[in-house]
Structure 1
Amino acid sequence: MTSASAPPQRDHGRAGRNLPAAVASAVVLLVAVALSLLFWKTAFMGIIVLALVVAVWELRQGLLKGGIDLPEQPLMIGGTVMVVTAYFWGAPVLVTATAVTALVIMLWLLRRGVEGYVRNATASVFTLIYVPFLGSFVALMLAEGGATPGIGFRIDDGVKGIATFILVTIASDIGGYVAGVLFGKHPMAPVISPKKSWEGFAGSAVFCVAAGVALVVWLLDGDWWVGVALGLVAVVMATLGDLCESVMKRDLGIKDMSQVIPGHGGLMDRLDSLLATIAPVWLLLHYLVF
């Protein structure tokens, strides 16, 4: 029996988004990030921690549909420790914090017994690397300008690096969206993501390289070829990040990780490209620009 009261599904076009809601949400998030970066780094660190907590919660909800139960508490607490230690003490301490958190998670799961231990422990360590560890590279990038928790307007190397990382990843999304909607005819991975096309990838590449060169030369005072490398790295990693999350969602039988961001779905639906991009971008800028 069909329900006459069920609301019809809205068609949001070839891109599959409610564009006005998506743009409004993106503007709000970008303004919050920009203000915290410019005036109070501690607030930005708080945004990072909040994002990883929500992302872990979303992943747990999604994985539960596949019979996998993540231990939220050690992932959230350990992830917070990882982000903070990365900001104040750098990459070596981050590696140690990650290893300790992984061990704590495996010990935590022992109290559940034998049934499902390997499955849950494996998924938990995967989540630890995917969200808190990769997210901690944002803290490493911010620390390029010095770990200064005070309030006050400043645009240091860390702030410039974060802006570069975010904007070049956004350029990939915008370029792919525009080119995909206007010219998309040849699916890149029809089984994984039917709306993603090779034409969209080409648009992402053009936008990413252009943004990379402009940001590295004008904002970071670096060489143009570093900007080209940055753009190419960003478009490849952002695309892979998007495809990997699409595979996860298809495997779990869900469309979005949640509905916490109007027009975008879940937070992980927006973080997938950013998480995949941040580590190589930090590595490139750390050794070639800063």
Structure 2
Amino acid sequence: MTDPSGEPPTDAPHSRAAARRAAENASAFHDHVRAARSEFEHQIDRARADFEQVNDRINERTGRNLLMAIAIGLVVGGGVLAMLLFLPWGFMIFAIAVCLLGVFEFARALQTSGRRIDIAPQLGAGAVIMLAASFLDGWTLWVLVFAGVAFILIWRLLAQMVASDGRRADDVLSDVLVSGFVPIYVPFLASLALVVLSREQGQLWVLGMIIAVVAVDTGAYASGLAFGSHPMAPRISPKKTWEGFAGGALAALLVGILYGMFVLHLPWWAGAISGLVFLGCATVGDLGESMIKRDLGIKDMSSWLPGHGGVLDRLDSLLPSAAGALALYLLFFPLTVS
């Protein structure tokens, strides 16, 4: 545009200069944003690479997918906590289902190693034992445990007689003994947790057992990963160390004392004894299952739980601890009501 005299407006150069500066500033701003975004993406990629490198080292040392194991542990742990506190019968159903899954994968692992194991009677006897622990008295449970074992042994002998495949006598005897071991190792020990659950305040004692065992495993894992250098049982489980055992012991004592005092209302010394009992039970259970897997030549009982292995790989510490929980309940529960 021009003024009436035909001359261009005097502010036109200033407007063009301002527009040019604005365009330059906008371009510089966009360049800065792109550079910042590129740097941010570079830092993210670098952090991811560093994290994956560290995670790979941890996985290589422990033989587990740590992140997957933590995620599954949190989900299952949260569900168990909710059921114990608000839905005890739901925990009973969950425990029976998990126990039978453990029986199934143990039987399959034994079959893979060449043992003759009959899965159907194992599952049937396991279900009867678990249900008896939930609804019947203690003596009836013992009778049904012995009856279940006898039923499984007779089934195996009859199945071998029908097969007539010329199997050697020592192999047949081994099959019979292993068949009788399965219901005692899994359903019977697991049923003791349901016996505690059926008692007064039983859900709090079962929860305390689970928390203590998790504390032992977590303390041993963290301490062994950070400081482990002296193998505890190299012929059974090479990755377990005395440093890890010390970390598990410290965690067990701490949890036992605190949980016993503030939840179960036990004296501090009773809580300390409880922690040590669970430490011993969890350690024996862990090493015991490791010895079984080493004898079978397998790393895990199954691969149903990514980062954990099989169901029985997570029950190994809990099964003997259920016997410890029942003994502690019978011994210390009177202190909470006195």
Judge same fold: TM > 0.5, yes or no. yes
After TM superposition, give the deviation of residue 279 of structure 1 in Å: 0.2
Work out whether residues 233 and 280 of structure 1, in 8 Å CA contact, stay in contact via their aligned partners in 2.
yes
Deviation digits for residues 30-87 of structure 1 (CA, Å, limit 9, x no counterpart) = 1221222233222211111111111111111211233112221222111111111112
Q: Between 238-247 and 10-19, report the one with greater CA deviation.
A: 10-19
Q: What letter is aligned with 2:188?
A: F
Bigger shift: residues 30-39 or 208-217:
30-39
* Correspondences of 1:202-221 after superposition (within 5 Å): 202-221=246-265
Partner of 1:113, secondary structure, is: helix
Partner of 1:151: none
- 5 Å-filtered alignment, 1:56-95, equals 56-95=103-142
Is 1:170 aligned to residue 217 of structure 2? no
| Letter in structure 1 aligned against 2:111 | L
Equivalent residue, structure 1, for 2:194: 139
Pair 1:26-2:73 in alignment: yes
* Residue pair 1:178, 1:200 contacting (<8 A) in 2 also: yes
- CA drift of 1:16 comes to 2.3
- For 2:73, give the aligned amino acid: A
SS at match of 1:195: strand
Cα distance in structure 1, aligned partners of 2:173 and 2:188: 21
Q: Secondary structure at the match of 1:111?
A: helix
Once the two structures are superposed, residues 186-205 of structure 1 have per-residue CA deviations (whole angstroms, 9 ceiling, x without a partner) of: 00011211110000000000
In structure 1, distance between residues paired with 2:180 and 2:279 = 26
Structure 2, unaligned runs of 5 or more: 1-55, 162-166
SS of alignment partner, residue 17 of structure 1: coil
Tell me whether 1:45 sits opposite 2:89 in the alignment: no
Aligned to 2:287: 243
Distance 2:286 2:126 in 1: 22
Aligned 8 A contact 1:52 1:76 in 2: no
Provide the residue aligned with 1:14 in structure 2: 61
Under a length normalisation based on structure 1, what TM-score does the superposition of the two structures give?
0.89
Q: From the CA coordinates, give the structure whose radius of gyration is larger.
A: 2
CA positional deviation for 1:26: 0.5
Structure 1: tracts of 5 or more residues without a match: 1-9, 146-156
Instruction: Provide the aligned C-alpha RMSD in A.
Output: 1.4
**Partner of 1:194: helix, strand, or coil?**
strand
Local SS of the residue matching 1:144: coil
Question: Paired residue for 1:106?
Answer: 153
1:113 aligned partner, one-letter code: Q
User: 1:264 & 1:24 partners in 2: Cα distance?
Assistant: 11
| Greater relative contact order, per chain length (Cα 8 Å cut-off, separation 6+) | 1
Bigger mean CA deviation after superposition, 158-167 or 111-120: 111-120
How far has the Cα of 1:184 moved from its partner? 0.4
| Separation in 1, partners of 2:137, 2:78 | 27
Match of 1:201 among 223, 233, 245: 245
Distance in 2, matches of 1:224 and 1:142, equals: 23
Deviation of residue 103 (structure 1)? Answer: 1.3
2:232 aligns to what SS in structure 1? strand
Deviations 1:142-193 (A, max 9, x none): 0113xxxxxxxxxxx1110111000000010011011101110100011211
Contact 2:212 2:256 in 1 (8 A): yes
SS of 1:196's equivalent? Answer: strand
CA contact (8 A) 1:56 1:76 kept: yes
| Residue identity opposite 1:105 in structure 2 | I
The alpha carbon displacement at 1:214 in A equals 0.8
Deviation at 1:29? 0.9
